[in-house]
Amino acid sequence: MIDLKALRENPDLFITGAEQKGVDVDIPRLVELDAQIRALKAEQESLKAQQNKLAKEVGPQIGQLMGKMKSATGEEKSAIQAQVEQIKSAPAALKAQIQELDEKISAIEPDLTTIHLRIPQPADSDVPVGASADDNIELSTWAPNWWDKNKSFEANKGFKPRTHIELCTMHNLVDYPRGVKIAGSRSYILTGDGMRLHQAILRYAFDTMVNINGFKPMSVPVLVREEAMIGTAFFPGGKDQAYEVNETSRGGGQDMYLTGTGEVGLMGIHQDEILDEAELPLKMVTVSTCFRREAGAAGKDTAGLYRIHQFDKVEQVIIDVADEATSRKHHQSMMSFVQSLLQTLELPHRLLQCCTGDLGTKNADMIDIECWMPGRGDEDDAGTPAGDYGETHSASRLYDYQCRRLNMRYRQGGDAGKGPTTICHSLNNTVAASPRILIPLLEMHQNADGSVNIPSPLQPYMNGQSKIG
């Protein structure tokens, strides 16, 4: 959610920001509604001020008269009664006017809120302007010394690659048909070593974040209220992407939503709180099951483990003071955690600067990390895929966009401190999302006979096993 004050001062910034992100939202209309509602409220407030003033005068008068009334007789009584009614009439007249304004205000407010929530955070000026993922820019690449990214898989390793789908079948790592039987398309069952590898990478990623990078381990709800989805800015825009548990239709108090990322739970923790500056930055990590409808992705990446409805993800979040330089620094460090993780797993990858059209509504900046997946890309005449990068991580820098919605603030010196409260800045990044990360793990570390080497950091999590198959 953007700051309305900032919008008033510089609407063009937000209009341009929305255009660059390809978001269709009527910002001039909001500016207009905002002016209207403020004028109405100002008018209403001055009436309320009069009302409050009168109420303070009227109260004691009535009290006094009521006192007199008790000892009064017949005629006196009705005279006092009339006086009381007289006194009451002035505030009553004000009340009608206030109510009238109330109606005007509530006629405008829903519209205003709807537009307000949809205005995206303008991208930072150093984010390249572009329409879609095609305009993203490669920032850097990394590969282990045994891999030359300019050569084909076969040229690097001396044999043609099997896709992860073939490898999974070969070693019984995944059971797709039975997964689909239970839960429909894009569902799967990890079996045997498939499940073990899945758990190993999650544990490795989680432990690294906690033990080495000093993040606080958390378990958070994945079934949440709408407020949490709106607060974290996944709603209203992304409502199509979330599974809904429709409790109200069976008489429950509220509908719930399955989160598509642990970010929702982590960010929701300190909603509506004023944090002590001394306890910042908050660095938290969680591992949670993520649910995505993948609405609109029909026919895309239908095979394999790439695009699925349910997966597990280790997610990192940082909440800190409102300072651009600090946010940028955290952004870099959160990416570096991932880079070193991928390096220890010997997975070639690249950093991709997302352009404005690919940022999403809430980000000022986003950098994706993509791993090389030999089984992706176009196939040649012999049916061998060329390989391609596939997104495995996404590092977002949000400034105060999310925390403003969540009403998450901090103050110097904490509760006892002085000075104004300030809205926090937040950032988030994937650490490891599995089973998608199994794709490069299996495909990159496969041998000519189809067996797969397990990277050494994962071996302790697999009871010392060094190879699948």
Residues that bind RNA (CB under 7 A): 4-5, 38, 41-42, 45-46, 48-49, 51-56, 58-60, 62-63, 88, 91-92, 95, 252-254, 274, 409, 411, 415-416, 420-421
Our CB check for RNA shows the closer of 19 and 111 to be 111
Our CB check for RNA shows the closer of 148 and 255 to be 255
> Among the residues of 356-445, which ranges form H helices?
401-406, 438-444
Residue of 118, 370, 436, 443 marked active site: 436
Residue of 288, 394, 396, 434 marked active site: 394
Nearest distance from C-beta of residue 295 to RNA, angstroms? 27
Our CB check for RNA shows the closer of 225 and 350 to be 225
Nearest distance from C-beta of residue 134 to RNA, angstroms? 40
Taking the mean position of all CA atoms in its chain, how far away is CA 432? 16
C-alpha dist (Å) from residue 286 to 248, 312, 432, 440, 468 = 29, 10, 11, 23, 28
Nearest distance from C-beta of residue 241 to RNA, angstroms? 24
Nearest distance from C-beta of residue 57 to RNA, angstroms? 9
Nearest to 163 by CA among 377, 381, 462, 459: 377
Residue 222 has φ and ψ, to the nearest 5°, of -110, -10
Q: Which residue has the tokens 């409790």?
A: 247
Nearest distance from C-beta of residue 443 to RNA, angstroms? 37
Residue of 162, 186, 196, 292 marked active site: 292
Other beta carbons within 10 Å of 166: 16
Is the four-CA dihedral 170, 174, 179, 184 of positive or negative sign? negative
The whole-angstrom separation of Cα 469 and Cα 114 is 55
Nearest distance from C-beta of residue 94 to RNA, angstroms? 8
Residue of 391, 409, 426, 443 marked active site: 391
Q: Which residue has the tokens 């220890």?
A: 344
Q: Which residue has the tokens 């009069």?
A: 50
Q: Which residues of 203-228 are buried (b: 16+ CB within 10 A; e: fewer)?
A: bbbbbbbbeebebeebebbbebebeb
CB 257 within 8 A of CB 226: yes
Nearest distance from C-beta of residue 73 to RNA, angstroms? 22
Nearest to 138 by CA among 443, 391, 436, 428: 391
Our CB check for RNA shows the closer of 109 and 148 to be 109
Taking the mean position of all CA atoms in its chain, how far away is CA 148? 36
Our CB check for RNA shows the closer of 52 and 466 to be 52
- Is there a catalytic annotation at residue 456? no
Other beta carbons within 10 Å of 56: 9
Our CB check for RNA shows the closer of 47 and 72 to be 47
Residue of 203, 307, 328, 350 marked active site: 307
Nearest distance from C-beta of residue 104 to RNA, angstroms? 14
C-alpha dist (Å) from residue 40 to 34, 37, 107, 172, 210 = 10, 5, 11, 67, 52
Is the four-CA dihedral 282, 285, 290, 292 of positive or negative sign? positive
> Among the residues of 27-73, which ranges form H helices?
27-71
- Is there a catalytic annotation at residue 45? no
- Is there a catalytic annotation at residue 307? yes
Our CB check for RNA shows the closer of 55 and 183 to be 55
Nearest distance from C-beta of residue 72 to RNA, angstroms? 17
- Is there a catalytic annotation at residue 391? yes
Other beta carbons within 10 Å of 170: 17
Cis, peptide link before residue 374, omega less than 30° from 0:
no
Q: Which residues of 408-443 are buried (b: 16+ CB within 10 A; e: fewer)?
A: bbbbeeeeeeeeeebbbbbbbbbbbbbbbbbbbbbb
Our CB check for RNA shows the closer of 63 and 177 to be 63
Our CB check for RNA shows the closer of 51 and 208 to be 51
Nearest to 319 by CA among 428, 225, 417: 428
Residues that are catalytic: 292, 307, 391, 394, 436
